[in-house]
Chain A
Amino acid sequence: MSALGSAWHWLISAQQWHGANGIPARLAEHAIYTGISLAIAVAVALPAGLLLGHSRRGGFVAVSAANLGRALPTLGLLVLAFTVSSASPAAWLVPLVVLGIPPVLVNAYEGVLGAGEDLRDAAVGMGMTGRQVLLRVEMPVALPLIIAGIRTAAIQVVATATIAAYIGLGGLGRYIIDGLATKDYAMVAGGAILVVAFALVIQIVFTVTGRLAVPAGLRHRAAGS
């Protein structure tokens, strides 16, 4: 395929590897945007999901959040943020965080619920307070699902950050957007390949982390994405 061939040439050509528009720079940007947004999303959604699950209330909230998160169009939110904030340079942050929240929230909620009544019963019967039950029993058991949820959120955030290039964000999406604008399809394809590689690396990192962090006895509970 000559298109991929030219993409390959674009990738390996020396100039791509230097400067503000070089691959390392864009890679770093993408990683930073992803990291910050994911961290905020987790900081917000994880406690919320754990509490909702523990209190056995708000199932409706969790399900609605999941549905809404899937239905809300990424590009639309980014453009909205950009327009409403009158082209603020940080306009990208809100949509990235907002779209990263639902998977973490839902999985934390379901993870806690999945620990089951028997486990809770036993823990309470042993004299644990509510908070101890949550932190020492429910959360550890929910860990596989929680990690899966964060992994899904990471996918979402990486994807959103890619699209955010449209409203002026840096990162690997820059190549795709700029390439489309200038009809430089080698750049478009090259950028796409980089994004795919980045996403795959993130996946591998999470899978490995998951395997390390989750004790053997719990692994069969992991329902995955």
Chain B
Amino acid sequence: MNDEGQGLVDWAWVTGNLGLIAYYAWQNLYLALVPVLIGLAVSVPLGIACARWGWLYPPVLGVTSVLYALPALALFALMIAWAGLTEAIVIVPLTLYSLALLIPGVVDGLRAVPEPVRQSATAMGFGPVRRLVQVELPLAIPVVIAGLRVATVSSISLVSVGQLMGVGGLGYFFTDGEQRDFPTEVYVGIGLIVILAFAADALLVLLRWSLTPWLRAREAAA
């Protein structure tokens, strides 16, 4: 039963359980960011390959798009057969989701490099690898980071679904709050997830800002 006159959130509970909250927040971040990082590590080489060999892209895109369309709970549930009730049931599907966002990011970013820039790099004597690393990838950064932002935010949020299998980061407070009929926990869970997601988003914007000094000058001029 809810306590009348408590208001929406029982702050006493919050202050009394900071350790618990921190623990699950940390777990949530870990379970969200590891898939994104693995996804990035896979997407960059795969994206480069798709940009280079165009025929590769449609099948790759098709597979990742289909995976992205599948509900998280179902994928987590299917993972039980392989991984039991461990962290892997969350990490593997979230990695697959991030591929669907990051591979197009890499491909679009590389394709957005203006052709005269690519031509002049070749004409100056850049070999293909050096051109990729020194010219094309740096220019692709904004688009890749845009994909990273979406992947990170959704990852942080989706981790909580894993709670239904016992692996859910801040999702813990949802099931616990439901069982105990204690909305404060639910508010805390939702609030923290949103805060963490937006904070991660802001950090990525900061990262983009620091990696793209030439765009800073453009914004200053605009």
Q: How long is the Cα–Cα vector from A225 to B151 in the complex, in angstroms?
A: 14
Q: How far is the CB of B1 from chain A (nearest CB, A)?
A: 10
Q: Are B81 and A75 in contact (CB under 8 A)?
A: no
Judged by DSSP, the binding face of A is helix
A122 within 8 A of B: no
- The segment from A13-21, A51-59, A127-135, A190-198 found at the interface with B is A190-198
Chain A contacts of B72 at CB under 8 A?
159
- The segment from A77-85, A111-119, A214-222 found at the interface with B is A77-85
Chain A contacts of B165 at CB under 8 A?
180
Q: How long is the Cα–Cα vector from A202 to B71 in the complex, in angstroms?
A: 12
Q: Are A70 and B150 in contact (CB under 8 A)?
A: yes
A141 within 8 A of B: no
- Interface residues in B21-65 by Cβ distance below 8 A to A read 65
- Interface residues in A145-202 by Cβ distance below 8 A to B read 155, 158-159, 162-163, 166-167, 173, 176-177, 179-180, 185, 188-189, 191-193, 195-196, 199-200, 202
A3 within 8 A of B: yes
Given contacts A159-B71, A159-B72, A199-B69, contact A75 B78 (CB under 8 A): no
- The segment from B115-123, B127-135, B189-197, B206-214 found at the interface with A is B189-197
A74 within 8 A of B: yes
**Which interface class (under 10, 10 to 19, 20 to 34, 35 or more) fits B?**
35 or more
Chain A contacts of B82 at CB under 8 A?
1
Q: Are A177 and B164 in contact (CB under 8 A)?
A: yes
- Interface residues in A93-120 by Cβ distance below 8 A to B read none
Given contacts A73-B174, A73-B193, A192-B74, contact A163 B69 (CB under 8 A): no
- The segment from B12-20, B137-145, B178-186 found at the interface with A is B178-186
A88 within 8 A of B: no
A35 within 8 A of B: no
Q: Which residue of B lies closest to A186 (CB)?
A: B81
Q: Are A73 and B153 in contact (CB under 8 A)?
A: no
Q: How long is the Cα–Cα vector from A155 to B171 in the complex, in angstroms?
A: 21
**Which interface class (under 10, 10 to 19, 20 to 34, 35 or more) fits A?**
35 or more
Q: Are A200 and B174 in contact (CB under 8 A)?
A: no
A71 within 8 A of B: yes
Chain B contacts of A224 at CB under 8 A?
65
Q: Are B189 and A76 in contact (CB under 8 A)?
A: yes
Q: Are A76 and B74 in contact (CB under 8 A)?
A: no
Q: Are A79 and B157 in contact (CB under 8 A)?
A: no
Given contacts A75-B163, A83-B177, contact A176 B190 (CB under 8 A): no
A67 within 8 A of B: yes
**Can you name 14 extra interface pairs (CB under 8 A) apart from A70-B197, A75-B168, A79-B177?**
A67-B198, A67-B201, A70-B153, A71-B198, A74-B158, A76-B160, A76-B186, A80-B183, A159-B71, A180-B77, A189-B80, A189-B81, A192-B74, A199-B70
A-B contact pairs, 25 of them (CB 8 A): A71-B156, A71-B194, A73-B189, A73-B190, A73-B193, A74-B160, A75-B174, A75-B175, A76-B189, A76-B190, A77-B190, A79-B186, A80-B183, A159-B71, A162-B71, A163-B161, A166-B164, A176-B73, A189-B81, A192-B74, A193-B74, A195-B74, A199-B71, A199-B74, A225-B68
Residue numbers of A with Cβ under 8 A of B are 1, 3-4, 7, 67-68, 70-77, 79-80, 82-84, 155, 158-159, 162-163, 166-167, 173, 176-177, 179-180, 185, 188-189, 191-193, 195-196, 199-200, 202-203, 224-225
